[in-house]
A and B are shown apart, each in its own frame.
Chain A
Amino acid sequence: MKQFVKFTIDGEIFGADVFAVSEICRDTGITKVPNTSPVVEGVIQIRGKVIPTVDLRKQLGLSSPEISKRRILITKIQNRILGFVVGEIDGFVAVSSDAIKPAPSEALKLDRKWIEARVDHPQGTFWVINFEAILALLEEHHRV
């Protein structure tokens, strides 16, 4: 069994492994920082810590109007703390391992490399985000 946090971006439902997410935050304002990677939207401050934040909407190539209700997922991947701007949190689901399937490329209007898997669940199908890939891209940019 695996547990996921579900959230919405532009009507599409996505999931993130609960163990990848350390905290869910309100969007109290992202401070723009000059001379950083274009992937990074800006930084947010949580309890005195400055956390670089990425707008998932942009990364997934979804062009939609401004999200009215924004949340920020604070993740800890490979000991790096990153914030991701997402839409409304949909809830939590527990899924058995056989329900997690690799993502089919053809039926996806999104960029495939950010999607890790597809989960079919009686409450609805959702896509699991590949945070490692996004981190890799970020580090690639840094190197450049």
Chain B
Amino acid sequence: MLSHLNIQLKILLGFTSILLLLLLSTVISNEFVADVNEDIRFLNEVSNQLVSEAGETAALLLKASSELEKYNRENNKDVVVQIGERRDELIKKLTEILVKIDQTKKHVKNDKLNEQLAEAQKNLERYEGFSSQIMFKHRVLLETRFLSQIQKLTAEKDELMAQVRMHEEATSKNLQQIAVIAHEINRSAIKKAMDTTATVSRTMIIGTIVSIVLGIILAIFIGRDLSGPINEFSRFMDKIGLDMSQRLRVQQKNEIGKLATQFNEFLSNLENNLKQVFVSSESTLKYSNAMTGNVENFVSQTQAQLNELKQVEGMLDHLANDTQGVVASLRDAEKLEEVNGSQSKVRQTIQNMDAILLETYKTIRETRSSLTSVSVVAQDTLRETEAWDRSVADSEKIIADMIGLTQKVEANAQQMEETIRTMKDISDLVHVLALNASLEGAKAGEYGKGFLNVADQLQTVSKRVDSLSAEINNLIHDDRQRADQVRSFGQRLAEGFKTSKTQSRTAHEHIVKLSESSKNYTNQLDRLSETSSAMTNLIASVEEWTDAHEQHITNLKNQLAQISQRAFGENAKMERTADSLRTAIKISKDTLVSAAGNKDSITQLSLSTKQLSKLLENFKVGKSRY
């Protein structure tokens, strides 16, 4: 079901479900936290109230008992009303505490709290009971007039008061216990809040992990769904190189499925077209082959006919010649022997020529190979001269830089000389200044002695400057000379490079000429080789001819006697037969020429068909490669 869905839809569905899951977990946690928070807030409030109420009640109790004691001591009538009020107040407080505890019960089960409360109530009831007894005894005491009775009642009252005190203390203790328990509830509420927070964060983590795992599973699922069909498609492409009949299985109805269907259609079209081309080309080839065979048969038959006719003609010609020259031949029968001798000589010569020709072939081959090596060497030399030219150009550039540097040195030297001139001028000025100082010193006589010292110092300075300038001048001179030497050396080098460049160019030209002439020589050798092979052929035909001639002579000798008798009578008939034969030969030759033409065109056809076949083969090969 899933594979039929659109891929985009699938991805959308997956991510939406993950997002929904995340949202759900967040909502649940939030709800949970809100609930717990509400509980805790409530508990906190109630327990705080409980603590304050208990405190207040205890304070009230203390106040009530102290008032009771006061009353017991003073026997004041007005206090009775106050004690009644206090009692009512106490009962009200206790009822409030009871209500609070009931509220707490909904959230926290605390038996200890109830127990304490029950005890407190019981103690309070007793307290009440004793206090009402005291009040009763007091009223009785107020009315009696008997001393003994008064003493007894007072003792009983004191005893009751002790009881009241005891129960008051017990109730206080109970109330304290209630406050302590309320504190504990508060603390446990805080602890529960912390636990809840931990639980919520755990829930969140679990929810996130579940979402991630679900996302990974979904990614794997979608990836497999996507890459599976594509891999299958690629495997199929490898497989169909040789076999066109295969088809891609379509399993899916999404974009990939559509692509596979379209590809299958394309393949069936291609297959049909190729099949048609193959069939038509094969039939063409078969037909043209058959035609070629037919024409060849025809040509060979015609050739055979022509040959027979020619033989017959030749025989007839020979016969005529023989008949005419029979007498002469008979006379010259002994000369045939001489002819035989000369023929063997001819044979010898031919054999010699054959040997010479073989030698010539061999020489040609050797010369060719050496020419090839010459050409290779020439190419290498050319490359080397070119590299040499390049390095020469580099060196020339370096030399030009060198000369430029020396010119810079020269310029610097000139500048230095200018500076030294200025220096000398200044020194001259100082010298004159010194002289004038001396002059004034001399004029001043005894007083001018100090001044004279200054003048002497100035003089020394001027002299030092002069000698320094002279030294610097010498140095500059040396530098200049060196720069000049470097420059002239650079110029000499540059000239040398120029000469070597022209020489290398000349060498280059010579090598080019050499390789050209070697090429010409090779061509000439080829022609010579052709000529000698033609000559070999010629010699072979001469040999054949010689053989035939020999045979003919032998035949002639044998036939001479028989033929000579019949010759004369048959002569005229033979002439006629020869004429008709000639005509037949002519017709046959024409036929042969036209047959040859036919053959040529058929051969052309066959060649084209073969090329077509080859192209198709190539196509097949190419396809298999693909």
* Chains A and B form a bound pair: yes
Cβ-defined contact, B429 with A24, below 8 A:
no
Q: How far is the CB of B432 from chain A (nearest CB, A)?
A: 5
Cβ-defined contact, A89 with B435, below 8 A:
yes
A21 to B432: give the CA distance in the assembly, Å.
Answer: 14
Report the interface size for chain B: residues with CB under 8 A from the other chain: 10
A26 to B435: give the CA distance in the assembly, Å.
Answer: 11
A5 to B441: give the CA distance in the assembly, Å.
Answer: 12
Cβ-defined contact, A3 with B436, below 8 A:
no
Point out the residues of chain A lying under 8 angstroms from B442, CB to CB: 3, 5, 18, 92, 94
Cβ-defined contact, B432 with A5, below 8 A:
no
Point out the residues of chain B lying under 8 angstroms from A23, CB to CB: 436, 439
Closest to B425 in A: A26
A47 to B582: give the CA distance in the assembly, Å.
Answer: 140
Cβ-defined contact, B438 with A25, below 8 A:
no
Q: Would you call the interface of chain A mostly helix, strand, loop, or mixed?
A: strand
Q: How far is the CB of A96 from chain B (nearest CB, A)?
A: 14
B443 located at the interface, meaning its Cβ lies under 8 Å from any Cβ of chain A in the complex: yes
B428 located at the interface, meaning its Cβ lies under 8 Å from any Cβ of chain A in the complex: yes
Report the interface size for chain A: residues with CB under 8 A from the other chain: 14
Cβ-defined contact, B428 with A5, below 8 A:
no
Cβ-defined contact, A92 with B429, below 8 A:
no
Cβ-defined contact, B428 with A92, below 8 A:
no
A5 to B435: give the CA distance in the assembly, Å.
Answer: 9
A19 to B439: give the CA distance in the assembly, Å.
Answer: 9
Q: Mark B422-461, 1 if CB is under 8 A from A, else 0.
A: 0000001100100110110011010000000000000000
Point out the residues of chain A lying under 8 angstroms from B429, CB to CB: 26
Cβ-defined contact, B443 with A26, below 8 A:
no
Among A19, A24, A91, A94, the residue within 8 A (CB) of B436 is A24
Cβ-defined contact, B432 with A92, below 8 A:
no
Cβ-defined contact, A19 with B443, below 8 A:
yes
Closest to B432 in A: A26
- Which chain B residues (382-428) contact chain A, with CB distance < 8 Å? 428
Cβ-defined contact, B432 with A18, below 8 A:
no
A94 to B449: give the CA distance in the assembly, Å.
Answer: 13
Point out the residues of chain A lying under 8 angstroms from B432, CB to CB: 24-26, 71
Count chain B CB atoms within 10 A of each CB in A3, A25, A71, A94 and give the residue with the most. Answer: A3
Point out the residues of chain B lying under 8 angstroms from A94, CB to CB: 442
Cβ-defined contact, B439 with A21, below 8 A:
yes
- Which chain A residues (77-95) contact chain B, with CB distance < 8 Å? 89, 91-92, 94
- Which chain A residues (19-33) contact chain B, with CB distance < 8 Å? 19, 21, 23-26
Point out the residues of chain A lying under 8 angstroms from B438, CB to CB: 91-92
Point out the residues of chain B lying under 8 angstroms from A25, CB to CB: 432
A/B interface sample: 17 pairs, CB < 8 A = A3-B442, A3-B445, A5-B442, A18-B442, A21-B439, A23-B436, A23-B439, A24-B435, A24-B436, A25-B432, A26-B428, A26-B429, A26-B432, A89-B435, A91-B438, A92-B439, A92-B442
Q: Known contacts A3-B442, A26-B432; can you find 11 more A-B pairs with CB under 8 A?
A: A3-B443, A5-B442, A18-B443, A21-B439, A23-B436, A23-B439, A24-B432, A24-B435, A24-B439, A26-B428, A71-B435
Sorted from nearest, which 6 A-B pairs have the closest CB atoms?
A: A24-B435, A3-B442, A18-B442, A92-B442, A26-B432, A89-B435
